[in-house]
A and B are shown apart, each in its own frame.
Chain A
Amino acid sequence: QLQLQESGPGLVKPSETLSLTCSVSGGSISSTGYYWGWVRQPPGKGLEWMGSLSYSGSTYYNPPLKSRVTMSLDTSKNQFSLKLTSVTAADTAVYYCTRHRPPAPLTVWGQGSLVTVSS
């Protein structure tokens, strides 16, 4: 059974870069047709899809975040990562890593990682 686990700093200073990693177990990120992505949820608010990418190189980012987001895969570690630059307090959220296989929805989720942006 595929499992995802987020990891990374829980506190990031304003204007710095938020970096998270999602470790994949029970499956390979090199599997054909699957997309690996991120969803975030500010405290007490709704869900925001940030983007996803595939092993083949296809990448989709949510336009409002596109200028600040980079997602990548590390096949040697079976992990994928998220980088979000120039963070502000508005980027404080629980960040979930996800997997889906288009045209299916987000079927697998990590447990989530709270990142707080504060000095």
Chain B
Amino acid sequence: EIVLTQSPGTLSLSPGERATLSCRANQSVSSYLAWFQQKPGQAPRLLVHGASSRAAGIPDRFSGSGSGTDFTLSISRLEPEDFAVYYCQQYGSSPYTFGQGTKLEIK
């Protein structure tokens, strides 16, 4: 099973700042890495797939990078609606696995 480790666990920033979230795999997932955003009471929403491709309708302030075992989700200028929990997921091999999540909170 591929284990994904996200860091930090919690990130405290202010609107307008840049956020950088990390996801590390214990073995290569190539580019089969997705990022999801989840707000309270809602289902996760796909932000990025293929490590760096934005999903339909996702603002360009969200960007993903990386391949192999190290991945990053960057949010260039935080908007109030961006404060949420973010999960990475690998879908290159079964069982698909998720990271434990990074909570992005308002400072």
Contacts and interface: CB of A to CB of B under 8 A. Distances in A.
Nearest to B92: A103
Nearest to A66: B95
A82 B77 CA distance: 41
A47 B87 CA distance: 8
Interface stretch (B11-19, B20-28, B67-75, B97-105): B97-105
Could you say which interface size class chain B belongs to? Answer: 20 to 34
Nearest to B100: A46
B95 A106 contact: no
Residue from B32, B34, B45, B94 having most chain A Cβ neighbours under 10 A = B94
Interface in A20-49: 46-49
Interface string A52-86: 00000000111100000000000000000000000
A40 to B, nearest CB: 11
Contact of B87 (A46, A61, A100, A107): A46
A60 B101 contact: no
Contacts of B87: 46-47
Contacts of B78: none
A46 B98 contact: yes
Contacts of A104: 49, 91
B91 A102 contact: yes
Given A46-B98, A102-B91, A110 B43 contact: yes
Contact of B95 (A46, A49, A100, A107): A49
Nearest to B99: A46
Interface of B: 1, 32, 34, 36, 42-46, 49, 55, 87, 89, 91-92, 94-101
Given A106-B96, A110-B43, A112-B43, 8 more contacts: A46-B87, A48-B98, A62-B95, A104-B91, A105-B32, A107-B49, A107-B55, A109-B44
